[in-house]
């Protein structure tokens, strides 16, 4: 069973906003422009919502968690 990608932003406003497949593995929200790429884990959406989220809480460097796990 394949789960249909949905827009995490428009779900909050409306009800389920199904994303439209673009044909190359990506799915785009026709309402806000959010793009999902389920097969690409490092893909970063450039829609206004995701850009605002990253500006507010930028991704933390990976080595942070590694340093914190070191117990002196
Ligand atoms: Zn949307
Ligand atoms: Zn987005």
Whether residue 68 lies inside any domain: the answer is: no
Number of domains in the chain: 1
State pLDDT tens for residues 24-42: 999 999 889 999 998 898 9
In a domain, 35, yes or no: yes
Pairwise CA distance, residues 38 & 32, whole Å: 18
Which ligand sits nearest to residue 6's alpha carbon?
A: 1
**Dist. CA 70 → ligand 2 center (Å):** 35
Domain of 47 in residue numbering reads as: 10-58
How far apart are alpha carbons 18 and 36 in whole angstroms?
11
- Please report whether residue 71 resides in a domain: no
- Is residue 52 a part of any domain in this protein? yes
Over the chain (72 residues), the average pLDDT of each successive run of 10 is 76 70 91 91 91 75 52 58
In a domain, 40, yes or no: yes
Residue 62 has a pLDDT of 53
Ion ligand 1 residue ranges (Cβ < 5 Å): 7, 9-10, 29, 31-32, 34
pLDDT for the residue numbered 56:
76
């Amino acid at each position: 069973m394949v789960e249909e990608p949905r827009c995490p932003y428009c779900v909050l406003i409306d009800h389920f906003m199904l994303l439209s497949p673009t044909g190359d593995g990506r799915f785009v929200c026709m309402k806000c422009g959010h793009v999902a790429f389920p097969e690409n884990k490092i893909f970063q959406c450039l829609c206004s919502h995701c850009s605002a989220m990253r500006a507010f809480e930028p991704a933390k460097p990976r080595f942070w968690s590694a340093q914190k796990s070191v117990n002196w």
